Amino acid sequence: MIYPVLLTVLSSAGYHFMLKQTSMKGSPVLVLFWSYMLAALVCLSVLLFKDEEIKVFSVFKDKSWIPMLLALTLVGIEFGYILSYKSGGKVGQVSMITQMVSLVVMFAIGYIVMKEPITFKKGFGIASALFSFHLLSR
């Protein structure tokens, strides 16, 4: 599990650094468009190196809305970060606040929708996140 987490952490740090470096004069939508075009090429390249047969549209065979909804959420996340940074947000503050608020939201979704149990540790973690959010937003 350490390598996927390490990949996620390093990619997230690079992601926020690159978003903060995005030109204040350019269109955030155009930046996202080209970023997704290049990301699509990277994904396609990885697929071509797989040994198995590639069925590009197989994710839609179950008439699942997941790929489309995931695309909307990805654009929303990235557009929100770009706008936050363009309006003067600090890298550490914006990323920390959004992650903490997301933690609280996902905790509620886990409890209400996924029926995950509430434990003392989880409650303490949420309280800590809320307190940290309060300190960082000052």
Render pLDDT for 69-116 as a digit per residue (tens, 0 to 9).
888 999 999 889 888 988 888 888 888 888 888 888 888 898 999 998
Q: How many CB atoms lie within 10 A of CB 84?
A: 19
The DSSP element (H or E) to which 30 belongs, if any, is helix 28-48
Render pLDDT for 121-137 as a digit per residue (tens, 0 to 9).
988 988 888 888 788 77
Q: Are 15 and 39 in contact (CB under 8 A)?
A: no
- pTM as predicted: 0.74
The DSSP string of 34-45 is HHHHHHHHHHHH
